[in-house]
Amino acid sequence: MAQTVALYSVKGGVGKTASAVNLAALSAAAGRQVLVWDLDPQSAASWYLQTEAAADRPVKKLLKPKGLAAAVRPTIHGNLWVLPAFPGQQAIEHHLADKKDAGYRLAKLIDPLAEQFEEIWIDAPPGLSLLADNILRAADMVLVPMVPTHLSERTWFQLKGHLRDRGIHPEQLCTFLSMVDRRRTLHREFAERHRHDMPELLETQIPYASVIEQMGDDQQPSVYREPRHPANRAYASLWEEIDGLFA
């Protein structure tokens, strides 16, 4: 059965999509059959992996198991597949709300995909919503990138409160520091300040680096393009840390 990891954040601009693509790419490089499901309407993960959805597939049809399977696309990278963002994806909330199992629909849709792939990485849209609740329930691990700022700290505890109020209990809930600028005191000291009140905080930190921002230049994971760059070596360390939690 596939492991499902959702890259999720209440707020945008935290390096969520770059992390989803790079971590999935590292799993594919390790020889696993990996699917990236792009559920963010910005479709950045699809863009990074040079994959676009067929424009003639309505959202309602894609929310059926056969529709999802037909929408999966290969990438130019070995072992790495994409379920790309599709036109009109913003309407997914409306279609989910019409279902009797509205809060659990995505979990049921993942089951057939889990027979084909060893890992499914979901690039989730930011925000608290019905779609977010579906993703949070469907994932074996919810992985939250956090820029080390006071606002990110606030949204982290907001997310934990939301999970508690909705009765959502992911098997693994983890956060990691992203876009870390070591020149800034708050960034350098954030982890030590929150070791006790954020036990879910992973050890590995992803630095702010132009090599990650430049992923759009040639549309490929930065861990493939410059694997020895410190930022990409950090991603490799983060991947190993995450992988160890599933061992």
Sign of the CA dihedral running 51, 114, 199, 227: negative
d(CA 230, CA 224): 13
d(CA 207, CA 219): 20
In the chain, DSSP finds a helix count (H) and a strand count (E) of 13, 8
d(CA 194, CA 150): 11
pLDDT of residue 102: 62
> Is the model's pLDDT at 63 over the cut of 80?
no
- 15: region left, alpha or beta (phi > 0 left; psi from -120 to 50 alpha): left
DSSP 89: G
Q: What is the pLDDT of residues 208-219, one digit of tens each?
A: 999 999 998 889
> Is the model's pLDDT at 95 over the cut of 70?
no
The identity of residue 50, as a single letter, is: Q
Model confidence at 97, pLDDT cuts 50, 70, 90, reads: low
3-7 vs 201-207, strand pairing mode: unpaired
Q: What mean pLDDT comes out for the span 130-144?
A: 93
Other C-beta atoms within 10 Å of 130: how many? 15
SS3 content of the chain, % helix, strand, coil (to 5): 45, 15, 35
d(CA 151, CA 41): 23
> Is the model's pLDDT at 100 over the cut of 90?
no
Query: What average pLDDT does the chain have?
Result: 89
Q: Is there a contact between 10 and 155 (Cβ–Cβ < 8 Å)?
A: yes
Q: What mean pLDDT comes out for the span 133-150?
A: 94
E runs forming strands in the chain: 3-7, 34-38, 73-74, 80-83, 119-123, 141-146, 172-180, 201-207
Q: Of the given ranges (42-51, 63-72, 223-232), which has the lowest mean pLDDT? A: 63-72
Q: Is there a contact between 44 and 159 (Cβ–Cβ < 8 Å)?
A: no
> Is the model's pLDDT at 36 over the cut of 80?
yes
pLDDT of residue 104: 75
pLDDT of residue 103: 66
> Is the model's pLDDT at 91 over the cut of 70?
no
Edge-first strand order for the sheet with 201-207 is 73-74, 80-83, 34-38, 119-123, 3-7, 141-146, 172-180, 201-207
The identity of residue 36, as a single letter, is: V
Q: What mean pLDDT comes out for the span 8-31?
A: 96
> Is the model's pLDDT at 101 over the cut of 90?
no
